[in-house]
Structure 1
Amino acid sequence: MTRTRLIALASASIFLLTGCGTVPGFNPGVAARVGDDTVTMNRVDDVTAAYCRAAEAQLQEGQVLPQHYLRGQVAGALALRVAVDQFAAEQGVSAADDYDQAVAQAREQLGSLPDDQVQALIDVQGVPIYVQAVEKSVGEQQGDSGNAATKAGEQAFLTWLDEQDIDLDPRFGVSIEKGVTAPADTSLSYGLSDTSTKANADQPDTDYAAALPDTQRCG
């Protein structure tokens, strides 16, 4: 089941995020902070560009998504990956083999795509699988097995997350809650035009999204 989730692009379930504008409290070029580690804006933009190209092949004719929706999903996924890497390092574990197997199968089945697009799909859609694989390893280290190991590791990760300082640039409209990324109302500015408000709604009108400049849309 987890391997299928990684292979599927699932563009229809892409997080619909809100938020834009000038954001205080972040050094230039920083998209997210997880403890002492950061995710750069350049990293978010590079992964988003490749992720968009991969998504375009799955979008129906005429379907368009505002680019900032994808940037939010990417920023959240990259920040969560940094967090779970820190958690794994503190626990002295690596991800269970399930993750490597899922990635290998994804690379095989997505082989027709350029490498950067395949990696972008793994970087974004593979993160929940990676989190679960680390949680499983933590649970097994504690002496559990099977589903019990995953549940024990999940609880340990949630407890650890509650003690961490994790900040994402509010313009992305995304947060990390209960071990997953989720849309968050962190907008610091509001679109005034009809095109802007409809393109940035919770369920964006693709006709209005299509009216955005090429650099602000995917599809």
Structure 2
Amino acid sequence: MRSLRTYAVAALAVSALATGCSAADVHPGQAAVVEGHDISMSTADDFADEFCSLNEPSLKQGDLAFPMVTLRALSLNILIQDELLHRYADERGWTPPASYRQAIAGLDDEATQANVPASDVEAFKKVRTAQEYAAWVYVRAGREVLIQEGKPLDDQQAYDRGRLILREWMEKQDVTVDPRFGTIDEKGDVVAPDGGLSVAVSDLARKGATLPPLNSRDTAYADALPPSQVCG
């Protein structure tokens, strides 16, 4: 199974999202509001649980563990970015190509080949669908710029250019996030939330102002948390 970092960060990380000062007060019951579209707390929490379950086998295999606050931030980030990318494409009248539809149609086979447990297949397909959609939008946006500049249409260059274009566009969108969720920095790592979590947390978790980076193998912080607050 692919690593958590591959799923959550390589194609999906968003930096510097525009957030409200106190989204929880402005939009009660919502984990985030993206240009008027609500992402409910229950939707975000359910997906965080699914995301943990999906990645837990690979985390355990690598003797790793992450605080659930990290998983909650990453999973909400996926939902926010997916909404923004769909809006970007819809505003331009873009329709996903046959290659995208074929990739999505093959996700059940991909899940089987990756030995994804039946209970995690839907979460796997949700993440992979968002990843495939992001990759298509990035390449499409980047290719348009390369054409305008008269440069060769290299898909990797188009992808890289597209990510930069979308990042700048996303920073200008109206996105508010409940302060109980962490945020994603420019490195793709999780920054601890400003306030408490929506579930009970220990004193240690409240004091965790700095979360370990995703590429860290230091699990001391996660190991000190109650099992309900850890994935891995």
Q: TM-score, length-normalised on structure 2?
A: 0.66
Deviations, residues 4-28 of structure 1 (Å, cap 9, x unaligned): xxxx43136667xxxxxx9743423
| Letter of the structure 1 residue corresponding to residue 120 of structure 2 | Q
Asked if residue 172 in structure 1 is aligned to residue 181 in structure 2, the reply is yes
Task: Return closer, same or farther for 1:9/1:29 CA change in 2, 3 Å cut-off.
Answer: farther
Which deviates further from its counterpart, 164-173 or 61-70? 61-70
Mapped partners of 2:145, 2:85: distance in 1: 17
Percent of residue pairs bearing the same amino acid type: 25
Determine helix, strand or coil for the equivalent of 1:167: strand
**1:50–1:116 contact (8 Å) kept in structure 2:** no
Deviations, residues 163-208 of structure 1 (Å, cap 9, x unaligned): 311222222221486xx96534542369984576569632585355
Asked if residue 214 in structure 1 is aligned to residue 227 in structure 2, the reply is yes
**Structure 2 unmatched runs, 5+:** 10-21, 148-152
| Letter of the structure 2 residue corresponding to residue 123 of structure 1 | K
Which deviates further from its counterpart, 73-82 or 194-203? 194-203
**1:34–1:83 contact (8 Å) kept in structure 2:** yes
Counterpart in the other structure of 1:45: 45
Deviations, residues 116-147 of structure 1 (Å, cap 9, x unaligned): 62332343455344222023334567894443
Aligned residue pairs total: 204
| Letter of the structure 1 residue corresponding to residue 133 of structure 2 | Y
Asked if residue 187 in structure 1 is aligned to residue 194 in structure 2, the reply is yes
Mapped partners of 2:228, 2:202: distance in 1: 20
Mapped partners of 1:174, 1:101: distance in 2: 33
Mapped partners of 2:191, 2:126: distance in 1: 21
Mapped partners of 2:32, 2:46: distance in 1: 15
Mapped partners of 2:28, 2:48: distance in 1: 19
Mapped partners of 2:227, 2:118: distance in 1: 24
| Letter of the structure 2 residue corresponding to residue 167 of structure 1 | T
| Letter of the structure 2 residue corresponding to residue 137 of structure 1 | R
| Letter of the structure 1 residue corresponding to residue 134 of structure 2 | V
Mapped partners of 1:160, 1:103: distance in 2: 26
**Structure 1 unmatched runs, 5+:** 1-7, 16-21
Determine helix, strand or coil for the equivalent of 1:25: helix
**2:23–2:178 contact (8 Å) kept in structure 1:** yes
1:135 to 129, 134, 138: 138
Mapped partners of 1:149, 1:175: distance in 2: 24
**1:76–1:176 contact (8 Å) kept in structure 2:** no
Mapped partners of 2:228, 2:64: distance in 1: 16
1:202 to 212, 216, 231: 212
How much does 1:93 deviate? Answer: 0.6
Determine helix, strand or coil for the equivalent of 1:31: strand
Structure 1 runs, 4 residues or longer, greater than 4 Å off? 12-15, 138-143, 148-156, 189-200
Task: Return closer, same or farther for 1:59/1:161 CA change in 2, 3 Å cut-off.
Answer: closer
Determine helix, strand or coil for the equivalent of 2:52: helix
Task: Return closer, same or farther for 1:150/1:194 CA change in 2, 3 Å cut-off.
Answer: closer
Computed over aligned residues only, the root mean square deviation of the Cα atoms, in angstroms, reads: 3.9
**2:139–2:162 contact (8 Å) kept in structure 1:** yes
Which deviates further from its counterpart, 192-201 or 79-88? 192-201
The 5 Å alignment of 1:27-46 reads 27-46=27-46
Task: Return closer, same or farther for 1:115/1:24 CA change in 2, 3 Å cut-off.
Answer: same
Q: TM-score, length-normalised on structure 1?
A: 0.69
Counterpart in the other structure of 1:118: 121
| Letter of the structure 1 residue corresponding to residue 180 of structure 2 | R
**1:78–1:123 contact (8 Å) kept in structure 2:** no
